[in-house]
Each structure stands twice: as C-alpha cells, then as structure tokens.
Structure 1
Amino acid sequence: MAATEVLQRYFDAFNAGDKAGMLAELADDVEHHVNEGKVRKGKDLFSEFCDHMDRCYRECLTDMVFMVNEDGTRASAEFIVNGEYLTTDEGLPEAKGQTYKLPAGSFMTLKDDKITRVTTYYNLSDWIRQVSA
C-alpha cells in the first residue's frame, strides 16, 4: 500500500472528526511528537491528546500536500489549519470562539502500512497573535 494512501486516510479522518479512523492508521506503539510538550507513546496517549484537542479546538486542514520518500517509510504533509478556539487551553490565551488560519506541517515515519511517528509543527507565536487580536 502506498504511504500517500495511509496519510490520506489519516487526514481525511482528522477532518471528519473521526478519532477511531485516525487511530486505525497508527501503529500500537506510535510516537507522537507535539509542537510544544512531551513525546507521547502509544495509541492510548494519542487518543487522550485527541480528546483534549477536540474539547479546546475545532480544526479543518486544507491545501494539503504530501511528500513521500522512495521506499514509503518517511512522509510529510504541509497544510493550512483553519480553526476555532473553543475552550481555554491551560497556559494559553482565553478562548472566546476566535478563529485562526495557520500554516503547519506533519512529519511521519511508516512501517508495515502504519504510522509509527507523528511530528507536527506550527508557529505558536503566530497562533497566539491571531487568537489575541
């Protein structure tokens, strides 16, 4: 199976709010490297992170571009995060339903048609500026 198909299913599930669909594309021992914070290991911690994000944010990813190495073991996705800040996240500005639009990227490692690592980057200062305006 092509890595791009795995990524497409993963990000389609994200946009549909389908956490189970996202988890289905992950290896059991997935490593989740978030933009700010500790590495989370395993599907359970990834699922908890998704629950937290769903409480605080509503996001849809657009302008998706995938890049994959020749053997399909490493891939990335560049996209625009179109979001709404729903509930105040600890240590961040107060949520008042602000909207934001933010370029971001995810980098992945794949093995046996499963994502074994997800690393996501975005400009936190830009996000804070947008929700504080």
Structure 2
Amino acid sequence: MSRAATLALLETYYAAFNAGDWDGMLACLADDVAHDINQGSRQVGKDTFAAFLGHMERCYKERLEDIVLMASEDGSRAAAEFVVHGTYLTTDEGLPEAQGQTYVLPAGAFLAIADGKIARLTMYYNLADWTAQVVGE
C-alpha cells in the first residue's frame, strides 16, 4: 500500500469517527485488528472493536480536531495526532463520576496497515490530564 493510500484510509477512518459512523470506521479495520487501549489491555478482532465503540458511545461524546496524519513511505506504518473535544456522558467503570463534564485533550495513535486495512491501532492520551479536567482540578 502506498503512503498516499494509507493517508486516504486514515482520512476516511477519522472522518467516520467525527461523523459517528461506526460502520464506516469498522470498514477500515482488518478482521483481526489489534487495538491497544490507552493504559489498558490489547483487544483483538473487529467484533471486539465494535463493542468498544458501543461502550465509548454510551460514556463519551467526542470530536477530533486539528488532525495531523503521517505515514511511512511504504504505507505500512502511520501515526495520527489530534485534539479530542469531549463530553463525559455516563460514568465509566473505575473513573470519576460523570456529570456532563467537558474536556479538551491532546491524543495520538500509532497504526499498522496491512492489505489496505488498519491492522493495529495503539492509542495514547494523558489519563491524569483527562481526570484532572473532569474532576475540576
């Protein structure tokens, strides 16, 4: 896959995220996608990722802005940097109580691309920053 094709894939993926188009996001993923959750475990599979999206939709309303995409020359590796603008809707297990708090959080992702699909997605954001924002510190 070329660098340009990888960037186009990521543009499609992140546009689907911002549109709340979970099917569009899932169409960009390999069936055995590996999803490394920030400060969590690795989850594998498109069905598992779909369940994760359902959980996120229940607890958070998010939009990504200032998206910058990067890809290796051969298109096999990529990265995305963005700012998450969100609202904490419903209390997520192990996290502070949700009361509709808003947050603005820099975040990023590292991706592996195989056969025209996202094969691995590793997310990063600063959980301490997010927590401080939602508890009002």
- Shorter chain as denominator, the TM-score bin is over 0.9
Residue aligned with 1:27, SS: strand
Q: Identity across aligned pairs (percent)?
A: 59
- Residue by residue over 1:76-117, the C-alpha shift from the partner in whole angstroms, topping out at 9 and shown as x without a partner, is 000000000000001100000000000000110001110000
Task: Pick the aligned partner of 2:124 from 115, 121, 125.
Answer: 121
Matched residue, 1:34: 37
Matched residue, 2:135: 132
Which runs of structure 2 are paired with 1:1-133 in the superposition (5 Å)?
2-133=5-136
CA distance, structure 2, for counterparts of residue 48 and residue 128 of structure 1: 23
CA distance, structure 2, for counterparts of residue 46 and residue 38 of structure 1: 13
Shift of 1:26: 0.2
The alignment's TM-score, normalised by the length of structure 1, stands at 0.98
Alpha-carbon RMSD across the aligned residues, in angstroms, is: 0.7
Amino acid paired to 2:27 = A
Uncovered stretches (5+) of structure 1, i.e. residues with no partner? none
Uncovered stretches (5+) of structure 2, i.e. residues with no partner? none
Number of residues of Structure 1 aligned to a counterpart in Structure 2: 133
CA distance, structure 1, for counterparts of residue 106 and residue 43 of structure 2: 23
- Residue by residue over 1:55-84, the C-alpha shift from the partner in whole angstroms, topping out at 9 and shown as x without a partner, is 000000000001100100000000000000
